């Protein structure tokens, strides 16, 4: 009976020892897997724009809301017709602002209505950089009294093309950093544990018009030259090391 108890105790002790050993192996494996190198890859491209956007519009104050709205509608329709006549597609025109509100003035603490202001802005897109001045010219000829700004940027197709290029360069930059760090530490760079796209961004070049309307605006727009745009990309990679 005593021998059986001893054997039972030994069996329990042996099983407990196996559990401890398995735990140590697991912990060792986890510790090994936790050896990583975290790097941030960056890239920057400077490219020529292939698309321009011109913001043109009008703003009028009339005695009634209907008069103001009718006036703005006529001007915008005339601008659209003028652009279409010159070969611009209606799909490249988009209303970005439409506003109708009553305006007031204050005299000796008394508020008085001065009429209704209607405002509408039209964004016109073109892939021909030489057409920017022509867009402004057509708009002004047809009654536009606001030329807000001109943007030079990238079409959706070119944007996607440069995004791939920028991310690829950022990835190579991250790998180069990881290899340099691993070599300096005397460890071997292993497999990739995680990859995260931190950011991809490009800022269109915006030209703010000094003159908002009239012949001066037409002349200024004709002299505006496209400017390069800068694209940046960042990517984070975690490598296992051994």
Give Cα 99 to chain centroid, integer Å.
27
Alpha-carbon span 21 to 29, nearest angstrom:
12
**Terminal-to-terminal C-alpha distance of the chain:** 53
| Mean pLDDT of all residues in 105-123 | 89
pLDDT value of position 27:
40
pLDDT value of position 115:
92
Contacts of 123 (CB under 8 A, 6+ apart): 53, 54, 55, 93, 94, 95, 96
Alpha-carbon span 167 to 188, nearest angstrom:
25
Alpha-carbon span 106 to 117, nearest angstrom:
17
Q: Which range is least confidently modeled, 19-23, 106-110, 189-193, 203-207?
A: 19-23
pLDDT-derived band of residue 213, with 50, 70 and 90 as boundaries? Answer: low
Q: Does domain 51-153+205-226 have CATH number 3.30.465.10?
A: no
Q: What is the pLDDT of residues 28-78, one digit of tens each?
A: 444 445 689 999 999 999 999 999 999 999 999 999 999 999 999 999 999
The answer on pLDDT for 12 being more than 90 is no
Cα distances (angstroms) measured from residue 17 to each of 30, 38, 200: 20, 37, 53
> Exposed, middle or buried, 40 (CB in 10 Å: 0-12/13-18/19+)?
middle
If you average pLDDT over every residue of the chain, what do you get?
85
């Amino acid at each position: 009976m005593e021998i059986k108890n001893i054997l039972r105790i030994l069996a329990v002790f042996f099983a407990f020892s196996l559990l401890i050993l398995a735990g140590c192996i697991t912990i060792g494996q986890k510790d090994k897997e936790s050896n990583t190198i975290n790097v941030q890859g960056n890239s920057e491209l400077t490219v020529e724009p292939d698309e321009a956007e011109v913001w043109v519009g009008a703003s009028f104050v009339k005695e009634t809301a209907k008069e103001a709205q009718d006036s703005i509608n006529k001007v915008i329709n005339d601008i659209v017709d003028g652009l279409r006549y010159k070969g611009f597609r209606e799909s490249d025109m988009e209303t970005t602002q439409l506003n109708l509100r009553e305006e007031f003035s204050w005299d000796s603490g008394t508020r008085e209505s001065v009429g209704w202001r209607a405002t509408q802005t039209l964004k016109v897109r073109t892939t021909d950089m030489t057409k920017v001045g022509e867009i402004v010219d057509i708009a002004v000829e047809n009654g536009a009294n606001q030329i807000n700004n001109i943007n030079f940027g990238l079409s959706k197709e070119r944007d996607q093309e440069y995004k791939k290029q920028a991310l690829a360069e950022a990835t190579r930059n991250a790998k180069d950093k990881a290899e340099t760090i691993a070599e300096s530490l005397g460890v071997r760079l292993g497999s990739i544990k995680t990859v995260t796209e931190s950011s991809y961004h490009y800022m269109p070049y915006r030209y703010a018009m000094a003159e908002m309307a009239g012949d001066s605006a037409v002349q200024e727009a004709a002299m505006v030259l496209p400017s390069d745009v800068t694209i940046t990309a960042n990517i984070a990679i975690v490598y296992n090391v051994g």
